[in-house]
Structure 1
């Protein structure tokens, strides 16, 4: 009996690592630096190496919220078993891997969510409608908000109405304010996260206004630094800002996407005493391996096939992507980085009068997103039901 239990846990762990590799090779490994690659700010291979390391750090420092949501909040009334987790993870991982090798960015969050809900309902669980409404709201709004903000920012940067140097510095300040309020595991008490502003704010002795003061200070410092850098070397400063944004998005991707790989394992491994941080490290390592071995193909596809991107349009695409990603992480919502980045790239691309936006590629991608959600749900439900009948 013990041998069978250990074997089941090993199979579940391998399925999770396969899922993590697929995510690293697909969404989290390819999307964060795709705009920077499209703007020739970094090479494809170097982008894959950097995003892997940053994704690992994001998984460890920010991955708990989405991981727990995927593992315990998508289905009510039942707890995922090892068999259910294996079916869900393998089903989703195969679909994502097909997308990687076909060159189409399958929405990982859609496939994992659909598969987990499918096997959960096959187990006799109850739909978690409030969580579904929360998830679907973000999924539906992401293309319009992300693409719309990217379009507006790109139009502002490309136009002549506002001084580009001051506008870019102001955008950098907004990013700094977001970073000041991002939650990190190392800054909070055990099992919780805290932001830089909430960690440093109380030490200023001004009560609740301390967090706001820290936020304003960090935003101002970042804005001033970028403004000065633009004055010295405009092209170089744009490249550095773009790479910094790619790094932030890569970090956020790790914090969000690791939960899709290891979330279904949480109920299983917690029963045998495996801490959540150990799962996060393992999932992050899987993302790292996927980024280093499989991401270059998808980076090229996203960077070149959806729209022609320059530095300013790439910056415009990454700013809303970072903000949406952190909102999803904070609320524990599984979100597709392919949906976030592709929507933002298309929005920024249209700001330059079409700018090579591929409507055909975009149409196929949207179809793949919908098909991945429906297909993973049907396959998860069907495969688990068939397994139960056989067993």
Structure 2
């Protein structure tokens, strides 16, 4: 499952806009996304892993057979998408398969979690695509103010980075953000939980990012835009690892409880699978996402990646499985439409992809339920 995810959504989508803008080659993007995805899986994978393993079904724990059937079902569907060039929504397939086998196991639907997931999945195309569209229009509207707009985006990205929670910065049970750790270093703040302390560190990081971006843009605007684009691709790749590793290892957590393995060790194992998938299978999907959906330049790619990064980190924070194909593709379509109009977006490819997303969720639920029920009857 981890290999299929690395070859599909987490391996192909983060750098796809940068590849489309010719800021980086396909093979180099595959190499970098593998390393960054591994880092994200290790440092940020806990929340989504817990949700996939323990929060999708109530009343039962996934058995080894149930987890095997669910992951095999989802991995097969994702692999079909990889080899046909249509990015299947990984979160849809894994979530559907786990729900299917969980219901067949006799569990009860977790309606509260389903509402959270459905809300995020429904809003993602509109929020991500809408922000990408508005950002792309702003960047193209006034060349004189473009450096100021891009610097503002860099500051917003810095603000998000300052408040991302990393496992390595916190205790064994709780992750911590850079703003929290930074506030501890300043005695003028009463405590690490001080809102003023966190706000001060966050604002400092945001202004630093904006200042560096503005300086680089003043020196060479084209080069600075490409560098910012690559940084954004790296941040999205890191976020993809933190989110997508949970889809692969989350269903394993209930059966690993008796062994008392540290979660970090399990996350590393999942990260290795993502790394292998990115290095061996991602180039095909990077090509499909970067070239087949919309023609992008550096500015429209930046417009696509900024909301993608924010949405991805929101999903990681709340422990909600989310499809990076859905996030990136909707943002690419939004920014591409703003930059080139309807002619720059492949409506046929977009239509087939939406149908594939809906079908993958439905098929995964049905196959997971049917396959587990059949195996139970045979046994």
Normalised-by-shorter TM-score class? over 0.9
CA distance in structure 1 between the aligned counterparts of 2:250 and 2:306, rounded to whole angstroms: 27
Q: Please report how far the alpha carbon of residue 355 of structure 1 lies from its aligned counterpart in structure 2 after TM superposition.
A: 5.2
Q: Which runs of 5 or more structure 2 residues have no equivalent in the other structure?
A: none
Structure 1 equivalent of residue 261 of structure 2: 274
Out of 96, 108, 116, the residue aligned to residue 90 of structure 2 is 108
Counterpart residue number, 1:367: 355
Q: 1:70 aligns with which of 31, 44, 52?
A: 52
The structure-2 alpha-carbon separation of the partners of 1:157 and 1:279, relative to structure 1 and needing over 3 Å to count, comes to same
Q: After superposition, where does 1:194-213 map in structure 2 within 5 Å?
A: 194-204=176-186, 205-207=188-190, 208=194, 209-213=196-200
Residue 164 of structure 2 is aligned to residue 174 of structure 1: no
SS at match of 1:80: coil
Take 1:129 and 1:228, find their aligned partners in 2: how far apart are those partners?
50
**Partners of 2:144 and 2:50 in 1: CA distance:** 44
Deviation (angstroms), 1:161: 7.8
Q: Which residue of 165, 170, 173 maps to 1:188? A: 170
Q: Residues 59-96 of structure 1: CA distance to partner in whole angstroms, max 9, x if unpaired?
A: 00000000010000000000000000000000000000
Over aligned residues, Cα RMSD in angstroms? 0.8
**For residues 131 and 58 of structure 1, what CA distance do their matches in structure 2 show?**
24
Residue among 315, 318, 327 paired with 1:331:
318
Write out aligned runs for 1:143-292 (5 A): 143-160=125-142, 163-204=145-186, 205-207=188-190, 208=194, 209-292=196-279
Distance 1:273 1:346, change over 3 A: same
Consecutive aligned runs of 4 or more in structure 1 exceeding 6 Å deviation: none
Q: Aligned pair in 2 of structure 1 residues 355, 310: CA closer, same or farther (>3 Å)?
A: farther
- Superposition deviation, residue 271 in structure 1: 1.6
- 2:84 matched to 1:95? no
Does the Cα contact within 8 Å between 1:69 and 1:333 map onto a contact in 2?
Answer: yes
Aligned partners of 1:268 and 1:274: how far apart in 2?
11
Q: Which residue of 1 is the match for residue 306 of structure 2? A: 319
Q: TM-score, normalised by structure 1?
A: 0.94
Per-residue deviation, residues 4-45 of structure 1 (Å, max 9, x unmatched): xxxxxxxxxxxxxxx000000000000000000000000000
Task: Note if 1:342 corresponds to 2:325.
Answer: no
Q: Give the Cα–Cα distance (whole angstroms) in 1 for the partners of residues 153 and 311 of structure 2.
A: 15
Post-superposition offset of 1:278: 1.1
Aligned-residue offset at 1:200: 1.0
Give TM-score scaled by structure 2 length. Answer: 0.97
Q: Deviations over 1:313-337 (max 9, x none)?
A: 0000000000000000000000000
